């Protein structure tokens, strides 16, 4: 090998390595920036516990927190993740196991398109459905329902009642639509990678096809599916664009049937205000959100 | 009434799908498949319906005009379309080399023990909330880029928040998506091909180049997937793009707006105007059509020319 080729080899590999490293350096810069400014902000705004429970600061406050946002994010993420797994998992089984069917390939194409779809479009879709459905939904279904449920106690009105145009359930629905294709694709590839012998054995002992697919073979792929569910949850916990038109955001502890606060929405709103106390609270909220997502991500990686 | 039916029928539909899973598994599974196909169909139909008032009033002119003047009820999304194209172009130009670098670094350069960790870091880059990227772009990246560009001779970036800032931020965000597809292809290069490359005396760099050429359809597929992400990204872009929705510009060092950030920024006061909501939905329709076309192209490329 000539010296020139050796040199080109090292320069070329060095260039690739440099580009590869350049792709992950911003990650450290961002995490460092968020935690340095975020922890400082949380301390200034009244300590961790106060920050996690208090109402957000108005421009004239010294202290404040993200209590309502945290509650809203947890509620909507939990609902969205449950619905996302409930629909995404069978869908993944379908496109992974029934690959010979023509319609399964159509569904697979639809899932592939939806997983890369702009999330803002999903939010607008749910908004459009909600604005069409709200009035008659309230009139025929939710008004009578909330009257029938009133003996249960006042707390039920926090969860069930006539819906506003913006509400936590619309937000959860948007998050679920984002999560479904994500779970479905990973489930599908896990099912597709099951060995044929194992599949035949499962069908041989399982009796009904349902048992073979959902009981026996599920064990073979459960690890991948749990990882998919965790990563999907981490993804929707930080989503902002779909919530802009569905949950809308709020600054108080409010019923989930009306506009609901979310951590990501508060960061989006507060970062763009000119008030330093609100910008500080945005950084604190970002640190909290990042911590939640990092924990879910690391758990998923250790398990997976 | 239509919407009521939609929402109310959804629940029995899902219950029926679950019930059928026990009774007649294949049909139950097909119902789930139909659900996702119907979602995409409904989504497009819904946007057509919502955007109809402005399309009935202006025709296709709404996509060709550059004015955004709510006071006169005159709306056009061409300046936003230009912004989307420009930011995506900047982002793709920066992201594709980085994605190639990630694929080669993981498969050729790093020792086996570090590959998993590096891969996880790249995946984490994709999982991070976009609003956190926006926050960082707003207070760190934007000002840094401004002083950097203005330090160069002839650099004129009057504001930290420009189409260029948005493009750079997008590049960081979409690199992992392109890299994931390229990595997938790179790992599938057959062993005999790799051995043949080394047998004729290629250096590791030359081998990497040959392998990259071997997986060029994956690179193209990754390109389209990342492009789809770049065009649709909303919150992070809206925070750093400058929000200039009134004036048409093709200078990337000026403030601009993209379709998705136009929707995000204008939506809160849209209800006060008669035609603004339909105009925003026309923008969303455009985004949907782009998303469908680009993703379909990416899927076609990856599936058609699989190794």
Which chain A residues are Cβ-neighbours of B257 within 8 angstroms? none
B87 touches chain A (CB under 8 A): no
Which chain A residue shows the shortest CA-CA distance from B235? Answer: A241
Distance from CA of A155 to the nearest CA of B (A): 24
pLDDT (tens digit per residue) in B256-285: 899 999 999 988 888 888 888 899 999 999
Tell me what the mean pLDDT of segment B98-117 comes to: 90
- Which residues 12-71 of B have a C-beta within 8 angstroms of A? 14, 17-18, 21-22, 25-26, 28-30, 32-37, 39-40, 42-43, 46-47, 49-50
The whole-angstrom distance between residue A91's C-alpha and the CA centroid of its chain comes to 18
Beta strands in chain A (DSSP E): none
Distance from CA of B150 to the nearest CA of A (A): 21
Predicted pLDDT of residue A153: 76
Q: Which of A236, A227, A238 is CA-nearest to residue A297? A: A227
Per this entry, what is the length of chain B? 307
The span from the CA of A115 to the CA of B119, in Å, is 21
Burial class of residue B182 in the structure, from the number of CB atoms within 10 Å of its CB (0-12 exposed, 13-18 middle, 19+ buried): buried
Backbone angles phi, psi at B86, to 5 degrees: -65, -50
Distance from CA of A188 to the nearest CA of B (A): 12
* Contact between B136 and A297 using a beta-carbon 8 Å cutoff: no
B contact test, residue of A241, A246, A292, A300 with most B CBs within 10 A: A241
Q: What is the ipTM of this complex?
A: 0.92
By percentage, how much of chain B surpasses pLDDT 70? Answer: 98
In CATH, A69-303 is 1.10.3720.10: yes
B76 by DSSP, 3-state: which? coil
Cβ atoms B137, B160 nearer than 8 A: no
Which chain A residues are Cβ-neighbours of B134 within 8 angstroms? 267-268, 271
Which chain A residues are Cβ-neighbours of B118 within 8 angstroms? 20, 24
Predicted pLDDT of residue B305: 66
Which chain A residue shows the shortest CA-CA distance from B208? Answer: A13
Measured torsion, CA atoms of residues A262, A266, A267, A268, in degrees rounded to the nearest 10: 100
Strand partners of residue A248: A260
Predicted pLDDT of residue B306: 59
Q: Give every residue of chain A whose pLDDT is below 70, as ranges.
A: 1, 206, 304
Predicted pLDDT of residue A156: 82
Residue with tokens 């169909």: B41
Ranges of each domain in chain B: 2-59, 72-304
The span from the CA of B228 to the CA of A284, in Å, is 31
pLDDT (tens digit per residue) in B282-305: 999 999 998 899 888 888 887 776
Tell me what the mean pLDDT of segment B95-100 comes to: 95
Backbone angles phi, psi at B74, to 5 degrees: -115, 120
- Element (H or E) spanning B167, and its range? helix B163-187
Strand partners of residue B256: B242
Planar angle of CA B250, B253, B256, nearest 5 degrees: 60
Q: Which of B215, B199, B8 is CA-nearest to residue A142? A: B8
B4 by DSSP, 3-state: which? helix
Per this entry, what is the length of chain A? 304
Among the partner-chain residues A16, A121, A213, the one whose CB lies closest to the CB of B208 is A16
Residue A28: partners with Cβ closer than 8 Å, 6 or more residues away: none
Which chain B residues are Cβ-neighbours of A98 within 8 angstroms? 26, 29
Interaxial angle between packed helices B259-266 and B78-104, expressed in degrees from 0 to 180 and rounded to the nearest 10? 120
Q: What is the pTM of this model?
A: 0.93
pLDDT > 60? residue B17: yes
Predicted pLDDT of residue A173: 93
* Ramachandran sector of residue A46 (left: φ over 0; alpha: ψ -120 to 50; beta: rest): left
The whole-angstrom distance between residue A64's C-alpha and the CA centroid of its chain comes to 26
> How large is the C-alpha radius of gyration of chain A?
24
Q: Which of A109, A84, A122, A120 is CA-nearest to residue A228? A: A84
Predicted pLDDT of residue A14: 92
Banded model confidence at residue B237, pLDDT cuts 50, 70, 90: very high
Of residues A70 and B12, more confidently modeled: A70
User: What are the DSSP calls for chain A, one per residue?
Assistant: --HHHHHHHHHHHHHHHHHHHHHHHHHHHHHHHHHHHHHHHHHHTTHHHHHHHSPPPPTT-S----HHHHHHHHHHHHHHHHHHHHHHHHHHHHHHH-TTSHHHHHHHHHHHHHHTS-HHHHHHHHHHHHHHHHHHHIIIIIHHHHHHHGGG-GGGGGTSSPPPSS-HHHHHHHHHHHHHHHHHHHHHHHHHTS-HHHHHHHHHHHSSHHIIIIIIHHHHHHHHHHHHHHHHHHHHHT--HHHHTTTB--SS---TTS-B--HHHHHHHHHTSS-HHHHHHHHHHHHHHHHHHHHHHHHHHHH-
* Contact between B3 and A110 using a beta-carbon 8 Å cutoff: no
A190-224 core/surface letters (b: 16 or more CB in 10 A; e: else): bbeeeeeeebeebbeebeebbbbbbebbbebbeeb
In CATH, B72-304 is 3.50.50.60: no
pLDDT (tens digit per residue) in B64-92: 888 888 888 888 889 999 999 999 999 99
């Amino acid at each position: 090998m000539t010296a020139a080729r050796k040199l080109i080899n090292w320069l070329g590999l060095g260039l690739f390595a440099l580009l590869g490293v350049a792709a992950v350096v911003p990650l450290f810069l961002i995490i460092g920036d968020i935690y340095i400014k975020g922890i400082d902000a949380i301390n200034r705004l009244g300590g961790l516990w106060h920050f996690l429970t208090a109402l957000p600061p108005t421009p004239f406050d010294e202290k404040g927190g993200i209590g309502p946002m945290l509650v809203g994010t947890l509620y909507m993420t939990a609902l969205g993740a449950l619905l996302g797994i409930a629909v995404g998992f069978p869908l993944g089984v379908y496109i992974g196991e029934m690959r010979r069917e023509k319609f399964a390939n159509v569904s697979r194409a639809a899932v592939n398109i939806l997983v890369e779809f702009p999330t803002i479009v999903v939010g607008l879709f749910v908004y459009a459905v909600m604005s069409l459905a709200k009035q008659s939904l309230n009139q025929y279904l939710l008004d009578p329902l909330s009257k029938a449920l009133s003996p249960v106690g006042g707390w039920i009105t926090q969860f069930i009642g006539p819906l506003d145009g913006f509400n936590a359930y619309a937000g959860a629905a948007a998050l679920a639509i984002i999560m479904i294709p994500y779970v479905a694709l990973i489930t599908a590839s896990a099912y597709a990678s099951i060995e044929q012998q194992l599949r035949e054995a499962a069908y041989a002992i399982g009796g009904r096809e349902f048992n073979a697919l959902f009981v026996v073979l599920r064990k073979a792929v459960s690890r991948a599916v749990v990882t998919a569910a965790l990563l999907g949850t981490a993804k929707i916990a930080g989503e902002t664009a779909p919530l802009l038109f569905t949950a809308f955001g709020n600054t108080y502890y409010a019923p989930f049937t009306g506009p609901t606060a979310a951590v990501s929405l508060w960061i989006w709103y507060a970062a763009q205000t000119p008030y330093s106390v609100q910008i500080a609270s945005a950084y604190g909220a970002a640190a909290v959100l990042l911590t939640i997502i990092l924990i879910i991500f690391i758990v998923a990686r250790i398990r997976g | 009434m239509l919407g009521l039916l939609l929402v109310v029928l959804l629940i029995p539909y899902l219950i029926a799908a679950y019930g059928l899973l026990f009774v007649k598994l294949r049909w139950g599974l097909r119902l789930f498949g139909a659900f996702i196909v119907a979602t995409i169909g409904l989504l497009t139909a819904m946007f057509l319906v919502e955007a109809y008032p402005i399309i009935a009033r202006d025709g296709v002119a709404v996509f060709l005009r550059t004015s955004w003047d709510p006071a006169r009820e005159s709306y056009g999304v061409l300046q936003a379309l230009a912004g989307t194209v420009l930011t995506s172009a900047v982002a793709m130009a920066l992201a594709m080399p980085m994605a190639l670098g990630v694929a080669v670094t993981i498969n050729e350069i790093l020792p086996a023990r570090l590959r998993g960790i590096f891969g996880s870091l790249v995946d984490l880059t994709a999982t991070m909330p976009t609003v956190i990227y926006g926050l960082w772009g707003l207070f760190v990246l934007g000002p840094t880029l401004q002083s950097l560009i203005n330090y160069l001779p002839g650099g004129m970036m009057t504001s930290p928040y420009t189409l260029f800032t948005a493009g750079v931020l997008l590049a960081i965000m979409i690199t992992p998506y392109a890299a994931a597809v390229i990595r997938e292809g790179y790992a599938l290069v057959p062993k005999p091909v790799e051995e043949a490359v080394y047998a004729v005396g290629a250096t590791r760099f030359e081998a990497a180049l040959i392998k990259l050429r071997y997986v060029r359809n994956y690179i193209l597929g990754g390109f389209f997937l990342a492009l789809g992400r770049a065009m649709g990204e909303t919150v992070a872009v809206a925070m750093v793009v400058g929000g200039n929705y009134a004036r048409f510009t093709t200078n990337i060092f000026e403030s601009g707006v993209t379709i998705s950030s136009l929707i995000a920024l204008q939506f809160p006061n849209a209800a006060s105007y008669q035609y603004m909501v339909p105009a925003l939905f026309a923008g969303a329709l455009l985004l949907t059509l782009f998303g469908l076309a680009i993703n379909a192209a990416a899927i076609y490329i990856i599936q058609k020319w699989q190794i």
